[in-house]
Structures are given as structure tokens and as C-alpha cells.
Amino acid sequence: MPINISNEKQRDAVVAMEGVRPKRDVRYVDEDMNAVFNRRLLKTDVSHELPELMKKLPNFEDISEALVDADPEIDTENFGMFLTETSRVYVGDGGIVHSVEEFEVVTNPDGTERERRPRKKEPQNINTDVPLKWTGKFIKKPDAVKRFVFAGKKQLAHINGLTFDFLYEIAKKLHEEDSLLLLRAGEHRDRPLVMNRGGKPYNAFLEGRIEGDSYCLILHLSNMELKRPAPIEDDRMPATAKRKASAEPEDKKKLTRAKPAVTEHDVADAEPKKIKAAKKKADTKTRK
Amino acid sequence: MAKPLVLSLDGEEFPVKLAKIDRERLYGSVTVEAFDEHGDEVFLRVLAYDGKTIIDKGGTALATVTEQGDSIPRNRLIAVSSDGEELEPVPSSFSAPNLLERATVEDYLSHTVKSVYALEAAEESELDHLRDSLSDGRIYKFPFSYRGGLEYDGAFLIGNKEGIFMIVGQPAVLKFLKLGQAVVLEPTEEQEVAADDLDFDLL
């Protein structure tokens, strides 16, 4: 995967970014020491599950009899087949749906709903016309490991002789500083890194190591601080939210509650089926 | 009461309880709901390569097969190392005291993180000496396996003002690259992340 990154002199280059795998020493063999493989296979599909069977046989007794007599829940031709090249699709009552509206439901650590909003799929920002900026913000390694959990790692690699020199110099600088460099994306150096469209945003820190004439540049990705969760009180409301709520004047509280659940676009677009159906019913009654 | 994990440093033993920490517990989570043009809720499912078989959650299984494609039960499998040596199972780290060793920050940064725990003193024990030992930025490590298994993970103890944390990870394959080891640049992957995989956006 290409990544467009700039150095201390704000010169930028497109280089390669590779995934970092954990070392794995365990593998499995059969009794004759031959390699074995894991394969995903089909156990059942939706057309053989209970809701579909109930469309044909509405009561459970009939279904029970059918299960014993005729095995309608099993497709002997297809069940057990190896699954390759699968894809993910949205499915409704009428089958595959191609046009959908997606909403994100943001939930607090205590499980209460905080926000409901139309989903935005941010594009990737690691290989655009605007290179990832050298922020100059160095964090000493011992401080960084005390503050952040690094959930993922990538490694940067050169694609030719010129980019070897470019990356080696970056690694050497970071090695000498004994620090991680904060990397940001966007024109204003204010965006976390997004690797794929709709992917998770990460705070990224670059580490450089040197061994003779070779280098190792590791991009540490973090979306979590090293800290304890806030205690959740008995009434299932987080302490901070409770303090905030009690500090608000009464009229403001009412205003907050009166806000629509969806923060962007038309509220009507965001209404789930049940609300829409209830409104429709109410309208019909009024007209009558 | 759950058995404590016993850590051993400078001849002193520290029984501790583990409390798992993840992003959801710190910041909450984001789930995605989707609706069709009539406002009816729709759900993500797996579509098989034939373009017509739709599979719900739990509709697939993993099977271990031989080179010929024959299924083989798990109890007939043998775990071996990369050298082909048969592996001896390792015991759970809760079964005996775990001796702490000094680790470097580079050693820690060379691991891919699997899980994070906050440590609490088990009943009637004190962690003062352990806390003091970690206060100057020192990192300690020990081999860790929660339930026992085929290999240990690396567990690192890090202290900060919030307390003592244990970060469990596996060593990563990191490459030192020389001039002649240029890689071929693959095109940008515009592949989308599955909608139900998204729990981000709280940064």
C-alpha cells in the first residue's frame, strides 16, 4: 500500500507501507506430519432457517414433524461446500438491497445511547496529494508507552534507491532522538490517519531504528490511551455525564432532550421504521 | 473468588487481579444501522460466490482439512514448531508465581498488542514495591498464558499515574531493510471496511 510522507525538510515521497505480522511458531500437522489447512464452509443459508421454514409451515408442530420426516432445514447439495470469495451485502425482507441509508449509533461506555447520526465514510488520507506531515512533535519512547496503547503496527519500506536514502535519514533522525514522531494528515495537520475508505481513524507515531546500513521504520497506530475506565455508577450514568447534567440549568436540560436524535440531514431520513410506522398510523387516524 | 496472578520481583510476591480494558469500556462504541428506501431495517449478510446463497451469522464453520480436502478432527492434529518439533503445552500463568524481568522499551514496541489489563492488588496484598519499581519508567516482562496453551505471549508491566497495567502481545516480525531490498509498490487499496466492523470515531 502506498503512503505519501514528508521528512523534516518537508520533502515528500511515496513509499510502501506493509503490514506487520506477529511471529507465529505454531502450526498443525496430521498424524503423518503432513500440513493441514483451515477452510471456511457453509453450514446453512437463510433459505433453510426457521423464519423461512415458518413461511411454509406456520406452526411449530408441523415444523417439528417436517424436521424429522423430510429434513427441510438441510440442503444436501450445498451444505458443507467450501466458501471462497464471499462478499457482504445488505438484505431485507425482499432479498438483497442495493440502496441503503446508514446511521451510526454512538453508545457511551455504560451502554446508554449518546448520538445517532448519518454515517460518513471518510476517504483514506495516507496517499493523497497532501502528504502526511512531519509535525516535529517528538514524544520520548518511555513517555509514549506510558500514555498510549498501540493497537496496530505497519512498516515503511523504500521502493527505489532514492526513497531508501529518504527513509534511512528519517529512521536515523528518530533513532538519534530516541523518540516517536507524531504523524498527522490533512492540510492543517489536524487529522488522524485513515487507511481505507470508511476505516478506523488512528493516531500514528513513527519509530525509527538503525542497524549499520539498514533501517526499520515502524508506524505505531493508537486509538486508545493507557488508562482505567471511569467508574459507572448504579444508575448506569457515567460520573462525568451526571456531573455535567446536574450542572446544567433546567431549561437547558429540556432543550437538550428536545433535540432530534440525528444531528445531520433531515430528521425524517433518520427515523427508524417503527417511528415512521407509528407516525403514519397517527396521521391516518387524524385524517379519519 | 478467582485465582490471583502472582508476580515475583526481588524475592517478593504480588498476588494481583486482572481487569480487562478495551476501547469500548473507555470511550464507548459505534454501531451501524441501515434502512432501505422504504425505511425498513436491513441487515448485513454474507453472499457466497454463486451470487445467490445468502448466509446469516452462524451459517459458516471452520474446518481443518488435509491436502486432499478431507476433513480431519481436531483431536488428531499435532502442534509443531516452525522447525517441525512437536510442541509441549505450556501451563496457565495463574498456576505458579511469574518471575519479572527487566525489558527495554524497544522490546515492548516490537510486540503487537493483543490485550490490556489494569492490575489490582488481590485481597490483603500491597503493590507498593511493584509500583515504586515501575515509577521511573522501568518496564518488566514475563511469559504469559491465560488458560495454558501451546505457546506463551509476552506480558509487559507498565506503570503510570493511573496505576499498573499489563499489556499482552506477540513479538512482531520487523525487518531491517538494506538498499537492495526495495519492495514493489502495490496500488492503493480502496477496499471498504465492513460496516459492522466499525467502532471508531470517538477520537
- Tell me what percent of the residues of chain A surpass a pLDDT of 70: 80
Q: What is the pLDDT of residue A187?
A: 87
Q: Kindly identify which residue of chain A lies nearest to residue B188, measuring between CA atoms.
A: A1
Alpha carbon B114 to its chain's center: 2
Provide the pLDDT confidence category of residue B178 given band limits of 50, 70 and 90: very high
Which DSSP symbol is given to A232? B
Question: Looking at the partner chain, which of A18, A25, A41 has a beta carbon nearest the beta carbon of B151?
Answer: A25
Is A228 in contact with B166 (CB distance < 8 Å)? no
Q: What is the mean pLDDT of residues A54-73?
A: 89
Q: Are B191 and A28 a contacting pair at CB < 8 A?
A: no
Tell me which of A24, A27, A178 to substitute to probe the interface with B (most B C-beta atoms closer than 10 Å). A27
What architecture (CATH level 2) is domain A2-21+122-225? Beta Barrel (2.40)
Q: Is the pLDDT of residue A273 over 50?
A: no
pLDDT tens track for A96-127:
999 999 999 999 999 999 999 999 888 999 99
A53/chain B closest Cα distance in angstroms: 15
Q: Is residue B38 part of a domain?
A: no
Residues A203 and A183: their CA atoms lie apart, in Å, by 7
Q: Are A90 and B192 a contacting pair at CB < 8 A?
A: no
Q: What is the mean pLDDT of residues A178-207?
A: 92
Number of domains composing chain B: 1
The interface predicted TM-score (ipTM) is 0.86
Q: What is the pLDDT of residue A245?
A: 41
Position of cell 396521521?
A283
Q: Is residue B45 part of a domain?
A: no
Q: Is the pLDDT of residue A276 over 50?
A: no
Query: H or E segment at A225?
Result: strand A214-225
Residue window 36-55, chain A: list those with CB within 8 Å of chain B: 36-47, 49
Residues A269 and B132: their CA atoms lie apart, in Å, by 56
Residues A181 and A174: their CA atoms lie apart, in Å, by 7
Q: What is the pLDDT of residue A264?
A: 33
pLDDT tens track for B79-96:
998 888 898 889 999 999
Q: What is the mean pLDDT of residues A229-245?
A: 56
Q: Does A207 touch chain B (CB under 8 A)?
A: yes
Alpha carbon A164 to its chain's center: 32
Residues B171 and B113: their CA atoms lie apart, in Å, by 9
Q: Lowest mean pLDDT of A156-165, A182-191, B131-140, B193-202, name the range.
A: B193-202
Chain A environment of B40 (Cβ under 8 Å): 92-93, 273
Is A171 in contact with A208 (CB distance < 8 Å)? yes
Residues paired with residue B171 on neighbouring β-strands, in sequence order:
B111
Q: Kindly identify which residue of chain A lies nearest to residue B178, measuring between CA atoms.
A: A214
Question: Looking at the partner chain, which of B109, B163, B200 has a beta carbon nearest the beta carbon of A141?
Answer: B109
Position of cell 488522524?
A192
Provide the pLDDT confidence category of residue B1 given band limits of 50, 70 and 90: low
Question: Looking at the partner chain, which of A100, A142, A160 has a beta carbon nearest the beta carbon of B34?
Answer: A100
Q: Is residue B64 part of a domain?
A: no
Name the phi and psi angles at A163, rounded to 5.
-75, -20
Chain A environment of B36 (Cβ under 8 Å): 90, 92, 97, 99-100
